[in-house]
Structure 1
């Protein structure tokens, strides 16, 4: 029992990952939302980083804001491409976008800037699970 009690704090420290895994299972195991919805979410996800950055006062120097805005444009472009194509290609484009956003989350997690680390951890795990679910759905 002592060994479990000793490990419990480390386990609970990863609560964002646990929440993300549970939400991903609920979201994607039954086939998931429509590709159009997932494209809209992909386009909107960078808005959260802009919001967090603004609220935390971490969009300075100006290059930080420029990088965040470039990410917004980039993810929106991938989302638009995904809705412009059909079928398997749309799912794979979305998967690439969601995986790219998971990497974007990882950068924010490691740097601990712009957004809270818990948010970046949660979002990164959820996005990676979403990307995997989209690849599975494509095949």
Structure 2
């Protein structure tokens, strides 16, 4: 009998870690384009919003579609110079209500936790926008690192969102959080 083995080498190992590489790429581009740490508050808000939306839908695989839709919408609104924050806040409040009415709080703890996570991380992002550049930047950095901790929990539990998104998000959030702190000092 002939045994076939998985391809060895660097390429398969790197290909297996595509979410990590994507997170590193997004983080690098975001930090290169950063005005001050507050300008990345939308990342915290979108991360919490996407996780909440996925929890409300109850389908972890939908997270990448939500990510693509929200990222494209953010870029389009930015290019058209339309303030996206009223829509983001309205969307978050709508998802919270849908989640509560739909029994989200009776789901497994990590899924149910997306409601308070949205309030915590979304509130931190909005508060950061009202603070000085340095204080707001540090608050965004803390929120990003906090969300990275949540990403690790979600990744390990294989709940709420697809593991690939949790991996992407934990890398992105942590690198952005640390990057904001380093660039602000």
Normalising TM by the smaller chain, what interval?
A: 0.7 to 0.9
SS of the residue 1:94 aligns to: helix
The normalised TM-score by structure 2 is: 0.64
- The structure with more radius of gyration: 2
Given the superposition, is the C-alpha separation of residues 75 and 60 from structure 1 closer, same or farther in structure 2, using an over 3 Å criterion?
A: closer
Corresponding residue pairs, total: 133
Runs of 4+ deviating beyond 6 Å = none
Given the superposition, is the C-alpha separation of residues 33 and 113 from structure 1 closer, same or farther in structure 2, using an over 3 Å criterion?
A: farther
Residue 69, structure 1, aligned to residue 69, structure 2? no
Q: Partners of 2:58 and 2:49 in 1: how far apart?
A: 12
RMSD: 2.1
Given the superposition, is the C-alpha separation of residues 9 and 55 from structure 1 closer, same or farther in structure 2, using an over 3 Å criterion?
A: same
Alignment of 1:71-86 (within 5 A): 71-86=117-132
**Higher RCO (CA 8 Å, separation ≥ 6 residues):** 2
Q: Partners of 1:41 and 1:128 in 2: how far apart?
A: 12
Alignment of 1:76-115 (within 5 A): 76-115=122-161
Q: Partners of 1:33 and 1:115 in 2: how far apart?
A: 30
Equivalent residues of 1:21, 1:129 under 8 A apart: yes
